[in-house]
Structure 1
């Protein structure tokens, strides 16, 4: 009832009632337990209170309502007519409250719900091998992953987190490193059988090279190498050029030439023997994948589960988190 509402005490007398209070709720619990057990002593035992405290709580509730709820004249506490009606309503209210508490507890203790993630196009090669295990561990989490090189507005577009490389100009995001990566020069065993292997980056002039053109800016990516104290890039003559990294890898597997691709993109082909890496001593790790997310006082369990899973599987430090600094 709202403040100032009217109710009858069953005898035709109209009473005004204040809004329900915490004391009303505790009195309701005491009343229900006493009515169920038929004893203030038993109710007190169940609630961890004295029989006197239970009785006084019920009396305060009766005084507030202006009606007698319990009839303690018999050997066992009984319900008055008004008490029986009120008891049925109180049971439903307390059951609903318990259901609400249980639902909230499980929603925060057991990861569940939808996660919207943005990742770069090449991120599929990095993430997808680890999705099956994540789904087995957390079947109640629904993953919605957008593989795109577009730089999304994390909070404005409703993303829970983004996976990116390099530095983003957003100092409000938290970040955690997931995996380091670098370029690898690869070719098929058939290609090497027919053309030999380059010994240095300069030897690439005598090889067929498959180049990658960025679909975002249209530029052909240079091939990056490193010496002990510096890095450098070369642009070998292109026998083939594709704007799709999967096509670059497939062409190299087919024996059409050498390719320079991120190591995680070639990982499965290297492990299966379809490709072989060369010039390894001239390349090094130069980039880091990070997962970034908006800071929140109550980080959802589903986001925490996703971040921890990727960090562990991809080699990121579980303990390392930092506020992302603007470039």
Structure 2
């Protein structure tokens, strides 16, 4: 007898014993009286004892049935309580979500938090902003935001939008040093470069040549492994940087930074939210995915 059949038989037995008949138990469980009788009979066969005395008018517990009933009804009651608790959990978004974002991801997420927490006050967000490539399943994350391609069949994904790279510098820097008209002009400018922490490689600056993105090798006075520090240096007029557009959006809108050579740059990337595919999509995660997809503002 399978574990599922055992639970079904246990529930049928408890309800029949509590209500005194197979018919009443059947009404309570929404099945036929014969189904209740067969479930109890299979349970008795698997246990090797008779649990109920049957007559045409009523049921009564045998001595063994009474002993079994005392324990069984507690088990059934706990199962029913667990089902009710799970139903409440599934009915309303609540609980803790552990999320991982790129280090610069706070620029995407933080403006959205007031609206999200106001709409879903019972969801607790545990946020990790880190450029380390985390193991989503192994480290117990509910979801992660990543850019680029991924090849993990254990994960499901939803695209959040794309971004483009921009070359930007402080308006004061360009007043002093002039505005580059071609990628080759950047050789006369202070290019602030970015080094990937994982590989140690310098990020190439991609420019369109004959409708293809080609990297341009550059040197510069400063190299960073932190995007925030790189942006801060550009804001202080130390040089120009090659960064995702969303990372400098507010400074471009304020006029603090200016982008150049836009028509010669189409390189960009794609953000996706990933989550374990072997888990049921709980309401708390479903509403987060929908909210981010609706509100994250990236290049279309």
Same fold per superposition (TM over 0.5): yes
Change (3 A) 1:269 1:101: same
Question: Which residue of the partner structure matches residue 210 of structure 1?
Answer: 192
Question: Which residue of the partner structure matches residue 322 of structure 1?
Answer: none
Equivalent-residue separation in structure 2 for 1:122 and 1:252 (angstroms): 16
Change (3 A) 1:291 1:157: same
The total of aligned residue pairs comes to: 284
Question: Which residue of the partner structure matches residue 77 of structure 1?
Answer: none
CA contact 1:201–1:279 (8 Å) conserved in 2:
yes
TM-score for both structures, normalised by structure 2: 0.72
CA contact 1:184–1:263 (8 Å) conserved in 2:
yes
Q: Secondary structure at the match of 1:238?
A: coil
Name the larger-Rg structure.
1
- Match 2:275 to one of 266, 269, 293: 293
Change (3 A) 1:168 1:24: closer
Q: Secondary structure at the match of 2:103?
A: coil
Aligned residues: CA RMSD = 4.6
Larger proportion of helix: 2
- The ranges of structure 1 where at least 4 consecutive aligned residues each deviate by more than 4 angstroms after the TM superposition are 20-33, 92-102
Q: Secondary structure at the match of 2:117?
A: helix
1:176 CA drift (Å):
1.1
Equivalent-residue separation in structure 1 for 2:7 and 2:262 (angstroms): 72
TM-score for both structures, normalised by structure 1: 0.66
1:152 CA drift (Å):
2.3
Equivalent-residue separation in structure 2 for 1:182 and 1:216 (angstroms): 22
CA contact 1:165–1:290 (8 Å) conserved in 2:
yes
Q: Secondary structure at the match of 1:118?
A: strand
Question: Which residue of the partner structure matches residue 3 of structure 2?
Answer: none
Change (3 A) 1:117 1:23: closer
Question: Which residue of the partner structure matches residue 138 of structure 2?
Answer: 156
Q: Secondary structure at the match of 1:169?
A: coil
1:98 CA drift (Å):
7.5
Question: Which residue of the partner structure matches residue 157 of structure 2?
Answer: 175
Equivalent-residue separation in structure 1 for 2:84 and 2:178 (angstroms): 67
Change (3 A) 1:186 1:31: same
List alignment gaps of at least 5 residues for structure 2.
Answer: 1-5, 20-49, 53-73
Question: Which residue of the partner structure matches residue 200 of structure 1?
Answer: 182
Q: Does 1:253 align with 2:235?
A: yes
List alignment gaps of at least 5 residues for structure 1.
Answer: 1-19, 34-63, 67-91, 317-327
Q: Does 1:273 align with 2:271?
A: no
Report matched runs for 1:1-327 at 5 Å.
Answer: 100-227=82-209, 229-296=211-278, 298-314=280-296
